[in-house]
Amino acid sequence: MNISRQIDSAGICTLTFDRPASSANVFDRATLAELDAHVADLEKEPQLKGVILASAKPKIFIAGADLKEFVRAPDADALGEIVDLGHLIFTRLAALPVPSVAAIHGVCLGGGCELALACDWRVASTGKVTKIGLPETQLGILPAWGGCVRLPALIGLPAALGIILPGRQVVGAQALKLGLVDELAHPEYLHDAARRQLTRGKRVVHPRLFSGSRPFKALVSAQARRGVLAKTHGHYPAPLKAIEVCAAALGRPLEEGFVLEKVAFLSLLETVECRNLIGIFFLQERAKKLSVPAPAVAAQVRRVAVVGAGVMGAGIAQWVSARGIPVVLKDVAPDALARGLHTAGSIYREAVKRRVFTMTEATAGLDRITPVCADVPLANVDLVIEAAVEKLEAKQAIFRDLETRARADTVLATNTSALSIDAIAGGLANPERVVGIHFFNPVHRMQLVEIVRGSRTSPDALATAVQFVKALGKLPVIVKDSPGFLVNRILLPYMTEAVRMFRAGGGVAEIDRVMLDFGMPMGPLRLADEVGLDVAQHVAADLAHRLAHPMPVDDTLTAMIAQGWFGKKSGCGFYLHSGKAPGARPNPKAAIARGAVVMRPLEAARMRDRLVLIMVNEAARCLAEGVIEAPEDMDFAMILGTGWAPFRGGPLRYADSLGPAEVVRRLEVLSREVAPHFEPCERLREMVAAGARFYPPETYSRP
Amino acid sequence: MKAPLYIVDGVRTPFCKMGTALASADAIELGRSAAAALLARTGVDPAQIAEVIFGCVGQPIDAPNIARVIALRAGVPTQVPAITVHRNCASGFEAVTQAAEKNAAGQGDLFLVGGTESMSRYPLLYNESATRKFTELSKAKTLAQRIARLLRFRPSDFSPRISLQLGLTDPVCGLNMGQTAEVLARDWNISRDAQDRFALRSHQRAAAARGRLAEEIAPFYPRGSHAAVAVTADNGVRDPQTLEALAKLRPIFDRHGGTVTAGSSSQITDGAVALLVASEEGLRRTGLKPLGKLIEYAYAGCEPARMGLGPVFAIARAEAASGLGLADADLIEINEAFAAQVLACCEASASPEFAKEHLGRDRPLGDIREEILNVNGGGIALGHPVGATGARLVLTALNELHRRGKKRALVSLCVGGGQGGALWLEAVS
């Protein structure tokens, strides 16, 4: 029983969605069938005056269609059937002789939104949890239960594309402005508002004469296409398809629009992009459910101390405080704290500008950060996150001090990106409470957090870290304490290889272009500038020192650093970051770092293989060494942590798409013709010998 | 007092002259900063606090009951109540003594108290005529009415009333605070030179005490500025201050033969202080270690035009209650509202006639020895954020007792409107 029905004496029927044993309502076959049965009954109800659709869940109206059902569908026919079923039932509801209204409180996405669109009227609650949208394109598909047809008809083509193309979700007030809902009400008065809307009767649809005209639609479509292509470099077919369908369906009879939707939907589902994007969705869901199995107990983290007010410490303090948790921010000098608070304050200010927070919320957030220079009692602190300088002796001293002052059950975490957890915990009486919680820069943007398990880290400490990171709204991945952990271990060889290519005569823009075309959010040399050339050089040298298969590091970066070029922070690196259009022009003087090297033009495909396969090779090694447990962890971490071309599904998924044999073949060519460090790793060779792949064929990660 | 009140710890923001380093912050933000720093420094669980009591003289219009706003913003949980207290310049004392009273009445054993003042943020006000015209304008219904009422405004309606000036003027005797100091200078024949010398000594002592005072300061971090700034020290102390420079200043309260200058008056300053105070039971319950304790206190009224003598009346009352006299004090703090006023207090304390006539006692209070009076400087050098000063005196005196390994301090201040307050403190080792 997913839907309950009540009809009051006035003839108003309320259909309440309440999926048993779940915090969310979703549309699966059973729910669709139930809805159909209710509507069929209502058709026979003589006294019926109106229908209200509501949810009994506190935070969710209807979260969308049950993705698992689509994934499990045996073939295109079965999928087409589900699409038809949705069209049929929603239209049947819309065709009732009495008015219908969706009373939306909580998340109303995808199929839930499309159901609401099929109603005559919509009212939304003012609650912050209310978010309305059609996120299908983010999964590589498009709204196919009437969303592409009904939304443009309701709010016009430009506004509809503004929602559908980016998969944007709007809160009640924005929805009202867009005309997506007809009235806004406090959750307590939502039902009354819905009844008020019913008195308006059935909605009369006026044809859009101008905005439905061919020239107008062509103009809007062309503009939208340009916008999409500029963002996606043509890697994502779904938004383009959505533009076509929305424009074509507008002004046509519903049924014709439905057919267009269905055809487009089924063709998109066939694409590799879609499969990989849905795979990522499942991986995110998996990360949200990640936990350390019992008997490990995660401690509740009510108060946090962050040691070190640098960019990372301040970023962590800001994010933690924004989640309602008080933070003591410790550094040795007031000036350092001033900079840290300034950083946190700027992040909050920016968020207020983007309307993520109100001014009051931002002030309350900053209020939760208490700066301290002196050693303060830590009895109330449940978790300490150290984010001080990346020097082992300094960190060890901090942890020795923390151990004596923190409560015995306080988890001591380090945000180190390079040092070994075991080494940091080395001199402690209780090394088992030390764990790595590695945030990425900038903390407020990067969703991935590496949780590093030292060899002596206790399950409880690990569980607390995982629980805490999830409570922060970040996505955790558990990795073994090994050099570079996961993301840096893969990224550094990639950046170093790009630098080697630059040294061999490659142009800065050309090298980055190759990776942008591959689908990376930014090229490797620009990434080096963002990270800071000194940091990149330091981490690369450190990894070269500690890894069994180190990557040769040349002195190009050292030469650049000697010029005072540290990347973005110093205004100059591989690119110029100052003056007009900062970051747009390559540094014309960078070539001096090449030394006396003969310029050789590099071929794009060769460049791509060098940059990508070096990551694949390293990823395979990580898997073999047990840095992570499953290939999913790797692909998930790289996509979420670095923006690794999502539609390609991550380095290991990409390796599978080429086939391990092809990967090994290309690596062997590279190791012969470029440098020996391309030598394919043991794991890849074994896989070729066994005819194995990283993933079982044709599966989504964890449906 | 029935039972002592223990002062666990305290911290303050730097004290900065009006319109300088702290001007971007309001009294709420100053108080919040001090309170949060204190909570972190003591490590106390804020849920253990029975009540938050803050003094503030010029409460911001946007924070009625500023103590409640400070409490919530400093992370004190919602169930803990808060009250703002106002005894003019003794508001910072009042916060402490009210905690003692609440404790004696069985209304709690652990309090977050203090005082806060942003004298930079004292607003300018529309005068009465403009206020009336604005009210009429807001009631206008038609455009014609609106225009007619707009035309009634005169340029003089827009000359503001300066709330700071109004607040520093006694509404009963009509004198401003500086003029009451002039009265005392005349009464007690306190020369311009004596005042300047006193002022100089305040600066010299405060300059020498910079390192010591730093121990009670938690840096303040102004928000919203373009650059990252940490305000770490008081900025009112002139180092070096000279007699010559002081002698050049013109009297500002009485142009005709007056002796009180800006240099011999307390500075107009922004700042906040927070103290954590507890009863013996509160200490037991929380395991906190105290810095010292309040063993007796008294407030006394006096003539508004001679409000500067308030400390003498209050000290006399405290002696009557506790038997502790000036000779029992290892340190004495008399807030330096004006040099003339502190010097007049010294004179009055030593005067048998004054004792007989005004205090109803046959012997004077005794000598206030210069070497134990305001040893780290006072309001003339450090500034006098009116709502916060009382709490600072308590904190500074207790810290100094510890540094000197001494036992007792008498801290007092005069109060606009004609009052004095005096607190007896004892160090706890």
Active site residues per annotation of B: 89, 384, 414
What is the distance in angstroms between the Cα of B298 and the nearest Cα belonging to chain A?
Answer: 35
Q: What is the DSSP letter of B338?
A: B
What is the distance in angstroms between the Cα of B382 and the nearest Cα belonging to chain A?
Answer: 21
Interface test with A, best of B76, B217, B223, B232 (most A CBs within 10 A): B223
pLDDT surpasses 70 at B179: yes
Q: For B6-45, what is each residue's pLDDT tens digit?
A: 999 999 999 999 999 999 999 999 999 999 999 999 999 9
The gap between the terminal CA atoms of chain B, to the nearest Å, is 21
Amino acid at A275: R
The residues, ordered by sequence, that sit 6+ positions from A251 with a Cβ below 8 Å of its Cβ are: A207, A208, A212, A213, A217
Instruction: List CB contacts (< 8 A) between B76 and chain A.
Output: none
Find the range with the poorest average confidence among A179-183, A294-298, A410-414, B417-421.
Answer: A294-298
Three-state SS at B281: helix
pLDDT surpasses 60 at A435: yes
Q: Give the mean model confidence (pLDDT) for residues A241-270.
A: 93
Minimal-distance CA residue of chain A relative to B42: A377
DSSP B9-43: EEEEPPPEETTSTTTTS-HHHHHHHHHHHHHHHH-
- Could you tell me the pLDDT band of residue A599, with boundaries at 50, 70 and 90? low
Q: Give the mean model confidence (pLDDT) for residues B76-80.
A: 98
Question: Following CA atoms A425, A428, A434, A436 in sequence, which dihedral angle do they give, to the nearest 10 degrees?
Answer: -20
- Could you tell me the pLDDT band of residue A700, with boundaries at 50, 70 and 90? very low
pLDDT surpasses 70 at A443: yes
- Give yes or no for A310 touching B (CB within 8 A): no
Residues 189-248 of B with CB under 8 A from A: 219, 221, 223-225, 227-230, 232
> Which residue(s) pair with A480 in the sheet?
A453
Beta strands in A23-71, from DSSP E residues, in sequence order: 50-55, 60-62
* Distance (Å, whole) CA B399 – CA A666: 74
CB A433 within 8 A of CB A407: no
The residues, ordered by sequence, that sit 6+ positions from B153 with a Cβ below 8 Å of its Cβ are: B130, B133
* Distance (Å, whole) CA A310 – CA A631: 34
Of A371, A374, A377, which has the smallest distance from its Cβ to B221's Cβ? A371
Cβ-defined contacts of B353-358 (< 8 Å, 24+): B354/B312, B355/B316, B358/B302, B358/B312, B358/B313
- Could you tell me the pLDDT band of residue A703, with boundaries at 50, 70 and 90? very low
CB A190 within 8 A of CB A123: yes
Q: How would you class A600 by CB atoms within 10 Å of its CB: exposed for 0-12, middle for 13-18, buried for 19 or more?
A: exposed
Q: For B342-391, what is each residue's pLDDT tens digit?
A: 999 999 999 999 999 999 999 999 999 999 999 999 999 999 999 999 99
Q: What is the pTM of this model?
A: 0.90
Q: Give the mean model confidence (pLDDT) for residues A424-453.
A: 94
Q: Give residue A683's pLDDT.
A: 95
Q: How far is CA A236 from its chain centroid?
A: 16
Instruction: List CB contacts (< 8 A) between B223 and chain A.
Output: 341, 345, 366
- Give yes or no for A368 touching B (CB within 8 A): yes
CB A599 within 8 A of CB A503: no
Q: How many alpha carbons lie under 13 Å from residue A115 in its C-beta half-sphere?
A: 32
The residues, ordered by sequence, that sit 6+ positions from B59 with a Cβ below 8 Å of its Cβ are: B27, B66, B84, B86
Beta strands in B288-375, from DSSP E residues, in sequence order: 292-301, 331-334
Q: For B186-238, what is each residue's pLDDT tens digit?
A: 999 999 999 999 999 999 999 999 999 999 999 999 998 889 999 999 999 99
Q: Are strands A383-386 and A304-307 parallel, antiparallel or unpaired?
A: parallel
ipTM: 0.93
Minimal-distance CA residue of chain A relative to B70: A367
Q: For A48-57, what is each residue's pLDDT tens digit?
A: 999 999 999 9
Instruction: List CB contacts (< 8 A) between A373 and chain B.
Output: 219
Q: For B391-404, what is each residue's pLDDT tens digit?
A: 999 999 999 999 99
Cβ-defined contacts of A207-212 (< 8 Å, 24+): A207/A251, A208/A153, A208/A156, A208/A250, A208/A251, A211/A156, A211/A157, A212/A157, A212/A250, A212/A251
Find the range with the poorest average confidence among A28-32, A312-316, A521-525, A582-586.
Answer: A582-586
Q: For A545-595, what is each residue's pLDDT tens digit?
A: 888 887 888 889 999 999 999 988 888 999 998 877 787 788 888 887 776
CB contact under 8 A, A349 and B224: yes
Q: Give residue A595's pLDDT.
A: 66
CA distances from residue A296 to A293, A469, B235 in whole angstroms, order as listed: 6, 16, 54
Domains within chain B, CATH numbers bracketed? 5-121+268-427 (3.40.47.10)
CA distances from residue A566 to A182, A503, A573, A586 in whole angstroms, order as listed: 54, 17, 6, 14
- Could you tell me the pLDDT band of residue A698, with boundaries at 50, 70 and 90? low
Q: For A462-504, what is each residue's pLDDT tens digit?
A: 999 999 999 999 999 999 999 999 999 999 999 999 999 998 8
Instruction: List CB contacts (< 8 A) between B225 and chain A.
Output: 342
Element (H, E) at B412: strand B408-415
Helix axes A508-518, A524-531, angle to 10 degrees: 100
Angle ∠(A159,A161,A162) on CA atoms, nearest 5? 60
Instruction: List CB contacts (< 8 A) between B75 and chain A.
Output: 326, 367-368, 370
Of B32, B43, B74, which has the smallest distance from its Cβ to A377's Cβ? B43
Percent of chain B with pLDDT over 90: 90
Identify the CA nearest to B86 among candidates B393, B422, B419: B419
Beta strands in A271-341, from DSSP E residues, in sequence order: 304-307, 327-330
- Give yes or no for A380 touching B (CB within 8 A): yes
Three-state SS at B325: coil
Identify the CA nearest to A192 among candidates A123, A137, A249, A92: A123
Q: For A631-657, what is each residue's pLDDT tens digit?
A: 999 999 999 888 899 999 999 999 999
Of A345, A368, A380, which has the smallest distance from its Cβ to B43's Cβ? A380
Average pLDDT over chain A, rounded to an integer:
92
Instruction: List CB contacts (< 8 A) between A368 and chain B.
Output: 75
pLDDT surpasses 60 at A687: yes
Amino acid at A416: T
The gap between the terminal CA atoms of chain A, to the nearest Å, is 24
Q: Give residue A701's pLDDT.
A: 40
Q: How many alpha carbons lie under 13 Å from residue B225 in its C-beta half-sphere?
A: 17
* Distance (Å, whole) CA A163 – CA A169: 7
The residues, ordered by sequence, that sit 6+ positions from B383 with a Cβ below 8 Å of its Cβ are: B15, B16, B17, B234, B236, B266, B267, B268, B269, B271
CB A307 within 8 A of CB A487: no
Question: Following CA atoms B300, B301, B304, B308 in sequence, which dihedral angle do they give, to the nearest 10 degrees?
Answer: -20
Q: How many alpha carbons lie under 13 Å from residue B264 in its C-beta half-sphere?
A: 33
Q: Give residue A601's pLDDT.
A: 67
Q: For A16-29, what is each residue's pLDDT tens digit?
A: 999 999 989 999 98
Beta strands in B65-109, from DSSP E residues, in sequence order: 82-85
Q: Are strands A50-55 and A100-104 parallel, antiparallel or unpaired?
A: parallel
CB contact under 8 A, A326 and B229: no
**CB A7: neighbour CB atoms within 10 A?**
16
Instruction: List CB contacts (< 8 A) between A337 and chain B.
Output: 219, 221, 230
Angle ∠(A50,A53,A58) on CA atoms, nearest 5? 145
Q: How far is CA A308 from its chain centroid?
A: 27
Q: Give residue B390's pLDDT.
A: 98
Q: How far is CA B304 from its chain centroid?
A: 18
CB contact under 8 A, A338 and B229: yes
Find the range with the poorest average confidence among A203-212, A309-318, A506-515, B111-120.
Answer: A203-212
Minimal-distance CA residue of chain A relative to B225: A342
Of B39, B43, B230, which has the smallest distance from its Cβ to A335's Cβ? B230
Q: Are strands B292-301 and B419-427 parallel, antiparallel or unpaired?
A: antiparallel
Active site residues per annotation of A: 438
pLDDT surpasses 80 at A209: no
CB B10 within 8 A of CB B38: yes
**Tokens in use for A47?**
């006294």
Of A328, A341, A366, which has the smallest distance from its Cβ to B40's Cβ? A328
Omega of the bond leading into A442 within 30 degrees of 0 (cis)? yes
Average pLDDT over chain B, rounded to an integer:
95
Identify the CA nearest to A550 among candidates A606, A612, A483: A483
Q: Give the mean model confidence (pLDDT) for residues A373-388.
A: 95
